[in-house]
Amino acid sequence: MKEQPASGTLQLDPSASSVRRRLGFRFEIDPARKESPWWMTIVSVFLALVTCAIFIAANGKSPLVVYEKMFRGAFMTEFGITETLVKAIPLLLCGLGVAIAYRIAVWNIGAEGQFAAGAIGATAVTIYFPDLPMYATIPLMVVFAIVTGGVWGALTALPKMYFQVNELITSLMLNYVALLLLDYLVFGPWKDPKGFNFPGTPMFGAAQSLPVLGDTRLHLGLVFALVIVVLYWFTVKYTRWGYELRLIGANQDAARNAGINIKRHILIVMIASGAVAGIAGMSEVSGVTHRLMYGISPGYGYTAIIVAWIAKLNPFGLVVSSVLFGGLIVGGYSVQTLGLPSSISSMLQGAILFFLIAGNMVSKFRLRRNG
């Protein structure tokens, strides 16, 4: 984006400026302000809630009751809290994946497909090496998920590097390909022969499942996610590679002139992005569903885009936003008892993103008195 507002004003249209003079003040982009204030995020979420309240009211329900029910369902019971965290794990991992790519303005929206690829890779271990002990199976599943997810990410990067293909389109098309491949496997060769035609692989054994905390559903994937949060923060902040990423993100032309190989970075970033989303897929099959099955992701890969954006690509911010959106998904399920569809949460997600962008841009403007 070439967006470097200069402070000088070029008068092009005299009639327009005379209108401004009559008003006595004008809006203009503040050249000094790059970041929007932190409270803008809260304002955006609040405005999104207000907007969606209109649609809820149109459905004949009281928005306040619905929001209260969502909040209680997600954060006020022990089951709700652990369930929120369970949903936050794949969101955090996928969000970290896309955040790496967005750092250098590679618009990877293929986390959904990379997630599925990772889940397929991890499940392949359980299908082809069923009798390994746990200390061998789990690391092997992680490695397989990293490889399959990384390959899926690279499939987006390579056309961009060599053929200038827009990565948005490639990554999205690959989502559909990955999900169809998953469907083929669970309806076809990998289907559980004793599963009464349920579209899923046989249940994983104890050796193939991630350990859980006590008798909750909270699994070891949380640790994976937190390790990657720290890894991401450290790499971007303290390594040479991270410095180059920040440089490309700040000014691509300057980075190219400084001799940074941008194509190589695009490839590395997409492999890393895919690998992290792949780990999310692995932790979901091994920690939550204990089998690869049809419809394994309720759109984690897409929600992750908003999760990353709302956190401004900051790894620690991502922890907060993924828990918030995990809660939104769980809250969406809990209002089903009121007779509302659970897609209320995806509607809210989109609205939040809208207000967030608008808020970011509005806070770049300033009001100035003409003088």
Partner 1 sequence: MDLLTQLLVAAISSGTPLLFATLGGILIERSGIMQLGAEGLMLMGAVIACMTYIHTGSLGWTLLAVFVVSAALGLLHSFLTVTLRANQVVSGLAMTLFGSGLSAYLGKSITGTPIPGAVPKINLGFLDDVPIIGDMFAHLDILTWFSFALVIAAHLFIHRTSFGLHLRAIGDNPATADVMGIPVQLFRYGYIIVGSMLIGLAGADLLLIYSPTWIEGMTAGRGWIAVALIIFARWNPIRALFCAYFFGAMDTIGFKIQLIGSAIPSYFLKMIPYIVTILVLMYLGWRSRNKPSGSPEALGVPYIREQRF
Applying CB under 8 A, which residues contact partner 1? Answer: 1-6, 8-10, 12-13, 28-29, 55, 107, 109, 159, 162-166, 168-170, 172-177, 180-181, 183-184, 187-188, 302, 305-306, 309, 341, 343-351, 353-354, 357-358, 360-362
Contact 294, 85 (CB under 8 A): no
* Cβ nearer to partner 1, comparing 212 with 362: 362
- Minimal distance, residue 155 CB to partner 1, in Å: 8
Residue 291 DSSP code: S
- Minimal distance, residue 3 CB to partner 1, in Å: 6
* Cβ nearer to partner 1, comparing 9 with 257: 9
Going by C-beta distance under 8 Å and a sequence separation of 6 or more, which residues neighbour residue 121? 141, 144, 145, 146, 147, 148, 149, 278, 281, 282
Contact 145, 118 (CB under 8 A): yes
* Cβ nearer to partner 1, comparing 93 with 305: 305
* Cβ nearer to partner 1, comparing 221 with 301: 301
Tokens 């050249």, located at residue: 31
- Minimal distance, residue 9 CB to partner 1, in Å: 5
- Minimal distance, residue 181 CB to partner 1, in Å: 7
- Minimal distance, residue 11 CB to partner 1, in Å: 9
Chain center to CA of 143:
22
* Cβ nearer to partner 1, comparing 180 with 227: 180
Q: Is 358 helix (H, G, I), strand (E, B) or coil?
A: helix
- Minimal distance, residue 301 CB to partner 1, in Å: 11
What the block records as the tokens of 310 is 């709302």
Contact 211, 153 (CB under 8 A): no
Distance CA 52, CA 149 (A): 35
Question: How many CA atoms does the CB half-sphere of 332 hold within 13 Å?
Answer: 18
* Cβ nearer to partner 1, comparing 64 with 169: 169
